[in-house]
Amino acid sequence: NDAKYKSEELAYCYYMLGCTSRSFAAVIRELEPELRDVVMIFYLVLRALDTVEDDMTLQPNFKVSLLREFHHKLKLKEWSFDGSGPNEKDRIVLVHFNSILSIYHSLKPKYQDIIRDITEKMGNGMADYVLDEDFNMNGVATVKDYDLYCHYVAGLVGEGLSKLMVEANFADISLTQDGFAKSESMGLFLQKTNIIRDYEEDLRDGRSFWPKEVWSKYTDSLSSFREDKSPESEKKGLECINELVLNALHHVKDCLTYLSLVSDPSCFNFCAIPQVMAIATLALVHNNPKVLRQNVKIRKGTTCNLILKSRTFPGVVQIFRSYVRDIHHNSSVSDPNYLKIGIICGEIEQFC
Ligand X SMILES: CC(C)(C)CN1C(=O)[C@@H](CC(=O)N[C@@H](CC(=O)O)C(=O)O)O[C@H](c2cccc3ccccc23)c2cc(Cl)ccc21
Residues belonging to the active site: 149, 197, 207, 270
For ligand X, give the closer residue by CB, 126 or 241.
Answer: 126
Closest separation in Å from C-beta 155 to ligand X: 7
Closest separation in Å from C-beta 115 to ligand X: 10
Nearest Cα to 278, choosing from 300, 257, 248, 301? 248
For ligand X, give the closer residue by CB, 258 or 323.
Answer: 258
What b-and-e string marks burial along 201-228, b requiring 16 or more CB atoms within 10 Å of the CB?
ebbeeeebbbbbebbbebbeebebbbeb
For ligand X, give the closer residue by CB, 51 or 191.
Answer: 191
Out of 123, 158, 211, 237, point to the residue binding ligand X (CB under 6 A): 158
How far is the C-alpha of 158 from the C-alpha of 257, rounded, in Å?
Answer: 14
Site for ligand X in 43-102 (CB under 6 A): 43, 46
For ligand X, give the closer residue by CB, 47 or 236.
Answer: 47
Question: 139 by DSSP, 3-state: which?
Answer: coil
Out of 49, 140, 153, 282, point to the residue binding ligand X (CB under 6 A): 153
For ligand X, give the closer residue by CB, 158 or 211.
Answer: 158
- C-beta pairs of 28-34 under 8 Å, 24+ apart in sequence: 28/270, 30/266, 30/269, 30/270, 31/266, 31/267, 31/270, 32/168, 32/170, 32/264, 32/266, 32/267, 34/168, 34/170
Site for ligand X in 186-215 (CB under 6 A): 186-187, 190-191, 194
Site for ligand X in 268-307 (CB under 6 A): 270-271, 274
Out of 12, 14, 24, 81, point to the residue binding ligand X (CB under 6 A): 24
For ligand X, give the closer residue by CB, 64 or 190.
Answer: 190
- C-beta pairs of 133-136 under 8 Å, 24+ apart in sequence: 135/207, 136/206, 136/207
How much helix, strand and coil, in percent to the nearest 5, is found in the chain?
A: 75, 0, 25
Contact present, 119 and 71 (Cβ < 8 Å): yes
Secondary structure letter of residue 223 according to DSSP: T
180 lies in the binding site for ligand X (CB under 6 A): no
Question: 171 by DSSP, 3-state: which?
Answer: strand
315 lies in the binding site for ligand X (CB under 6 A): no
136 lies in the binding site for ligand X (CB under 6 A): no
Out of 154, 166, 245, 316, point to the residue binding ligand X (CB under 6 A): 154
Instruction: Tell me the per-residue interface mask from 243 to 272 with ligand X, x by CB under 6 A, - otherwise.
Output: ---------------------------xx-
Site for ligand X in 30-49 (CB under 6 A): 39, 42-43, 46
How far is the C-alpha of 256 from the C-alpha of 271, rounded, in Å?
Answer: 11
Q: Which residues bind ligand X (CB under 6 A)?
A: 21, 23-24, 39, 42-43, 46, 153-154, 157-158, 161, 186-187, 190-191, 194, 270-271, 274
